[in-house]
Amino acid sequence: MQELKNFTSKINVKHYIIISSFIIGFLIFYLLIFYFNISTDIQDHVTVLQEDIEKKAFRINFLHYLLVWIISGFSIETKPLLWSSIMVLSTAVSLKAYLTFTWLKKELIVSTKVISFFSISLILVTNIFFQHHFNLWNKILGMISPNVWQNSTVIVLMPFALLLYFELQKFLKDPKTLKISIITILIIMNAIAKPNYLFTIIPSLGIIFIFYKEYWQYLKKFATFIGIIVIVLALQYFLNYVFQVSETNGGEQGIIIKPFHSISIWNGNIPLSLLYSFLFPAFVSIFYFRELIKSREWLFLILNLLIGLTIGYLLCEIGKYEYHMNFMWQNVVNQYLLFCFLIIWLLKKQLNYKSIICFIAFGIHLIFGLSYLYLTFWNGNYF
């Protein structure tokens, strides 16, 4: 007993966040895959990985697949690959929670217990949905959720997207702190995990750069930064849609502009779905608009989200991925970042009726995040 006490005394709050979030992720993925055997993208991605191994060619966003294969001991059997997927995805969730905790801890002077509570809560919140809408919409697809549990690649992307955002945050506050070497590595990691978050960074930073003259003296650094992203995305586009290095890359036939085409199969009421998706951000942004409009960080996050929604609603792939909405995944990242930023903003404010209403709205998102998991397990369908 004394040895246990000595061991636990050496564990700090960060360790508890990592361990508890890993356990949460592990239980969710175990229940999804093995206990309830619910069909998700996770199992589909294992099948894709097996096809990749057979064809000896990975797709362009290969990071998740490669990690799963390595952790499995380079197995080609389904069960070891599924167990490996659970380990990789649970680790990604715990890293997301840890990075969120460090972000909140750095920004806030509040109780560590409060920071811990919101760090865990932020990895559980989802959009709002109601049972009688299920025959019209799905719970998640067609909505904008800050968290998803069914898509392997976006789950693996999240820690790298957070790390890239932290560098962008430094750039917004002080452009001369930009470290091209670190940025380049993070851009590549984001691209090989899932390139979606990079789609919104270029135009958002471009708008910020144009409207704030003090950035102009850093044109060379800015151009280098944007140039790296453009080159990486152009290379991925060429390999995926033009050259098609192998059939492994999905056999995509191209991208077309077709407004609201992909989302039409998932969502019957876009304005209402946006309200359900953005209840918490809407309340905070409305109540504190005069202050928030002065924040470049808030403007950057809003621009990312608006541009991400525009891309998702306008573009779709031709071929078998026509209705997969692969141009909407950036909104998961942008929504999560916005939720984190606004929680930090609220926790810095004095408690009053406005902040109480905003915290209640956040609580509603958290309740629906928990009920989403319950209904997924109960109904046997993550949609």
Q: How confident is the model at residue 369 (pLDDT cuts 50, 70, 90)?
A: very high
Which tokens sit at 86?
Answer: 């659970």
Q: What is the pLDDT of residue 252?
A: 53
Between 172-176, 261-265, 347-351, the lowest mean confidence (pLDDT) is in: 261-265
- Please name the residues in contact with 243: beta carbons below 8 A apart, sequence gap of 6 or more: none
pLDDT band at 4 (very low <50, low <70, confident <90, very high): very low
DSSP 8-state class, residue 245:
-
**What 8-state DSSP symbol labels residue 238?**
I
Q: Tell whether the model's pLDDT for residue 238 goes beyond 90.
A: no
317 forms beta bridges with: 255
Provide the pLDDT for residue 135. Answer: 56
Within 10 angstroms of residue 21's Cβ, the number of other Cβ atoms is 24
Q: Which of 139-143, 222-226, 362-366 shows the lowest mean pLDDT across its residues?
A: 139-143
Q: Quote the mean pLDDT of the chain.
A: 88
Q: Which helix (H) or strand (E) holds 181?
A: helix 180-193
The vertex-78 CA angle with 72 and 84, nearest 5°, equals 30
* Stronger pLDDT, 377 or 267, i.e. the higher one: 377
pLDDT in tens, 305-336: 999 999 999 888 777 777 778 888 999 999 99
For residues 99-127, b (16+ Cβ closer than 10 Å) or e, as one string?
bbbbbbbebbeeebeebbebbbbbbbbbb
Tell me phi and psi for residue 222, to 5 degrees.
-60, -45
Percent of the chain clearing pLDDT 90 (strictly above):
62
Q: Mean per-residue pLDDT for 10-20?
A: 83
**What residue ranges do the domains of the chain occupy?**
13-379
Which residues, 6 or more positions from 115, have their beta carbon under 8 angstroms from its beta carbon?
Answer: 101, 104, 105, 108
- Predicted confidence (pLDDT) at residue 127 exceeds the cutoff of 80: yes
pTM, full prediction: 0.93
| Per-residue pLDDT reduced to its tens digit, 48-100 | 999 889 888 778 889 999 999 999 999 999 999 999 999 999 999 999 999 99
Residues with Cβ within 8 Å of residue 246, at least 6 apart in sequence: 55, 57
Angstrom distance (rounded) from CA 342 to CA 24:
24
User: Mean pLDDT across the stretch 1-17?
Assistant: 62
**pLDDT value of residue 94:** 98
Pairing state of beta strands 315-318 and 254-257? Answer: antiparallel
Helices (H), 31-144: 41-55, 63-71, 78-107, 112-122
Confidence category of residue 11, pLDDT binned at 50, 70, 90:
low
Q: How far is CA 260 from CA 148, 257, 269, 311, in A?
A: 22, 9, 11, 10
- Residue 261 pLDDT > 90, yes or no? no
CA 359 – CA 105 distance, rounded (Å): 19
What pLDDT shows up at residue 37?
Answer: 93
Rg over alpha carbons for the chain, rounded to the nearest Å, is 21
Give, for 246, the enclosing helix (H) or strand (E): none
- Predicted confidence (pLDDT) at residue 344 exceeds the cutoff of 70: yes
Closest CA to 90 of 5, 149, 145, 160: 149
Mean pLDDT of 222-249: 76
Q: Which DSSP category does 215 fall into? A: G
User: Vertex 249, ends 243 and 252: CA angle to 5°?
Assistant: 75
% of the chain with per-residue pLDDT over 70: 92
DSSP state of 53: H
